[in-house]
Structure 1
Amino acid sequence: MLIDSHAHLDAAHFDDDREEVIQRALAQGVTAIVNIGFNRETIPTTLKLSEAYEFIYAAVGWHPQDAIDMKPEDLGWIEQSCAREKVLAIGEIGLDYYWDTSPKDVQHQVFREQIRLARKLRMPIIIHNRDAHEDVVRILREEKADEVGGIMHSFSGSWEIAKQCLNLNFYISFSGPVTFKNAKQPKTVLANVPLDRLLVETDSPYLTPHPYRGKRNESAYVRLIAETAAEIKGLPIAEIEEITTSNAKKILGIL
């Protein structure tokens, strides 16, 4: 059993074979998938997907790359969407300093507003962080995000940053890059993350793990992430499956 804690199965990459992709995930023992709606286009498709499949859940939020496009009424829309039974978290939210699509001050404001909403609703948050480690941690701390906690999605920071996130009540989730041969930092962080805070994800169709790097990712490949985690932790794959599934259920409230 495995839970893919972060996927984008509503992406156009899957329009020709979405059902086959979902069935392959089930065949690999994936018992739940959390699909992420992150802007005006993907929130509706994520909600629709979660309603169509019993084992697919949703998270909704506003991605930092799209922060410049967020209007005040969009925050209210996210709040209304969070009332749906299958919506488990607010995300993915955070900061992205790699893509120059939204000014930093706008990203910060949108990030803070969504953390405050999560605290109001008592829901966990899913964090997107690209090249913004210090600011992400600082804002999480200033906005008292530890009250709700959440998931550091596809973690790419150092162990020092990971420790600060752990202290803020966050789980650390790993995706395809941890399987890459030269990915020293992700492997070091995974080795140090406590088992009770470890999660696995695909971020499909992106960040495809070895040996499929360069091709489209899909939820079935979450097993490759789990196998790498088992190797690094020196544990049987079955134990990693059980641990990461239990962790995902705990932070996201999956019964």
Structure 2
Amino acid sequence: MFVDSHCHLDRLELDKLGLTLEQVVDNAKAEQIQHMLCVCVSLSEFEQMAQSVAPFTNVSISCGEHPLHQHDKVDPEQLLQQCQRDTVVAVGETGLDYFYSPESKLSQQAAFVSHIDVANQLAKPLIIHTRDARADTLALMRSHNADKASGVLHCFTENWDMAKAALDLGFYISISGIMTFRNATELRDVVKRLPLDRLLIETDAPYLTPVPFRGKTNQPAYVSAVAKAVAEVKGVSLDSLAKATTDNFYTLFNLVKRVA
């Protein structure tokens, strides 16, 4: 059984897929996807997201503001109130993205700190997005004690030095379909070195569709393709990879009720 540790079910263009959300979830079940974590990217859209996946017992939710949503200035009190809900199992996604929005560095940093503070206050893990911001991401994680809450660097695309620094802070590393791309040589080298007990897999659906499904809209069912690619690179069986990443998910996101 697999877990998709990071997807955006509320952002699937279901009309284009020709599917209902229930069918997307059923597709995942058919591919032995036991659980999915639907990750919030905008506080203003949180209510709608939460309601859309509420009928599904195998879908959990997070709450946070993506670093590229800085037109919606993060209200720390609103963030705290929403993250306090029992249904929210993690804080984020948050972090820093200087690749797409270097001009909003200061507001991104302030929002990131707010998320870390809320995660520490509530003892809920962080879901961190980082791109072209290695030094600042790690510096803020260290200076604001992100290791207290722990969490994951999702959709990891950075180098081994950053992975090692995050691991040293007690964080997990999540691998997406990017590692199946032809030009992801450095990432595959990082995956080889990642310890199995700190590894997660994800789709980041509807984005970053893995090989061999390129050209299609990504969906949680495709996390099995990510798992196969990671297992091959690490030289372990698919069953071993599935067990390790599933166990890791429930260890990190310990508010999610594990299915027997």
State TM-score, norm by structure 1: 0.95
Moved more, 7-16 or 84-93: 7-16
| Aligned-partner residue type, residue 169 of structure 2 | L
**Pairwise CA distance, 1:49:** 3.2
What is the number of residues matched between the two proteins? 253
Distance in structure 2 (CA, Å) of the matches to 1:26 and 1:71:
35
Partner of 1:58: 61
Deviations 1:180-205 (A, max 9, x none): 23311111111101010000000000
Native 8 Å contact 2:7 2:38 kept in 1: yes
Partner of 1:203: 204
Moved more, 6-15 or 157-166: 6-15
* Paired residues for 1:122-133 under 5 Å: 122-133=123-134
| Aligned-partner residue type, residue 68 of structure 2 | Q
Partner secondary structure for residue 204 of structure 2: coil
Give RMSD over aligned pairs. Answer: 1.5
**Pairwise CA distance, 1:234:** 1.2
Partner of 1:83: 84
Partner secondary structure for residue 68 of structure 2: helix
Partner of 2:221: 220
Can you give the 5+ residue segments of structure 2 that lack an aligned partner in the other structure? none
Partner secondary structure for residue 52 of structure 1: coil
Deviations 1:29-85 (A, max 9, x none): 01110001121343123211342110100011011111242243xx32322222322
Partner of 2:52: 49
Within the alignment, does 1:7 sit opposite 2:15 as a pair?
no
Partner of 2:244: 243
Identity of aligned residues (%): 37
Can you give the 5+ residue segments of structure 1 that lack an aligned partner in the other structure? none
Moved more, 16-25 or 154-163: 16-25
Which consecutive aligned stretches of 4+ in structure 1 deviate over 3 angstroms post-superposition? none
Native 8 Å contact 1:39 1:62 kept in 2: yes
Distance in structure 2 (CA, Å) of the matches to 1:45 and 1:193:
36
State TM-score, norm by structure 2: 0.93
Within the alignment, does 1:70 sit opposite 2:73 as a pair?
yes
